[in-house]
Amino acid sequence: MKLFFNPASPYARKVMVVAHECGLAEQIERIAIGLTPVNPNDDLNTDNPLGKIPALVLDNGSSLYDSRVIAEYLDTRGEGGLYPQAGDSRWQALRRQACADGICDAAILARYEGLVRPEEKRWSGWTDAQKNKFRRALAALEAECPEFADTTDIGTLSVAIALDYIDFRYADEAWREACPSLAAWHSEFGNRDSLRNTMPADLKA
Ligand code: BEZ
């Protein structure tokens, strides 16, 4: 399998975390590409018309995107057991994944506003609204993280990845002071091999 990815992308990292959890990481050839919303890549566009990473090209030549689809495919193929099959725990895991992905969506949109958009067109109200989204989501996770207990599933893995992304791109964000329970959980959960082995290089201790 061939994965279009970028080492800084939390969505691409989620795919690799799941691949590690499922014992499939060695079967994935990673193709790193630099990408912004206005910097298309023709090879990627062939396999994902949306031009987004991650995209996974299977051995039969067909492709899968986005991270949620790829992660569930790998879990099924590798029997990872990261998706509770029924009941409340399934919807909780999927909702936590959505919350974590939403944190990354907002953090990336706020980042692109300052990095990619021409200076004269930047809108601080937009940036602030995106930051408020991820701050509200972090506060909600702080309230529910006592329920995480020892759960390792697509929800808790996605939350850990989102927190690492905030550390990576928003080093000044004092989320640990605002969310002490979440911080304590993150510091323990982050020791999993799948998370340590996929940490963006700039964040490694
Ligand atoms: C980043 O550099 O933060 C980034 C790169 C690719 C996708 C998402 C984020």
Q: CATH number of the domain that 111 lies in?
A: 1.20.1050.10
**Residue range 14-41: mean pLDDT, rounded:** 93
102 CA distance to ligand 1 middle (Å):
14
Residue 90 CB burial class (10 angstroms; 0-12, 13-18, ≥19): middle
Residues 91 and 153 in one domain: yes
Q: Taking 70 as the threshold, does the pLDDT of residue 10 lie above it?
A: yes
Instruction: Please tell me the predicted confidence (pLDDT) of residue 38.
Output: 84
Question: Of 56, 78, 100, which residue is a domain's last?
Answer: 78
Question: Of 25, 55, 78, which residue is a domain's last?
Answer: 78
Residues 12 and 67 in one domain: yes
Task: Report how many domains make up the chain.
Answer: 2
Domain that holds residue 39: 2-78
What is the phi/psi pair of residue 201, to 5°? -55, -40
What is the phi/psi pair of residue 40, to 5°? -70, 160
Closest residue CA from atom 9 of ligand 1: 9
The CB of 161 under 6 Å from ligand 1? The reply is no
The CB of 67 under 6 Å from ligand 1? The reply is no
**Residue range 58-86: mean pLDDT, rounded:** 96
CATH number at residue 21: 3.40.30.10
Does residue 183 or residue 117 have the better pLDDT?
183
Residues 68 and 101 in one domain: no
Distance (Å, whole) CA 165 – CA 188: 17
Instruction: Please tell me the predicted confidence (pLDDT) of residue 205.
Output: 55
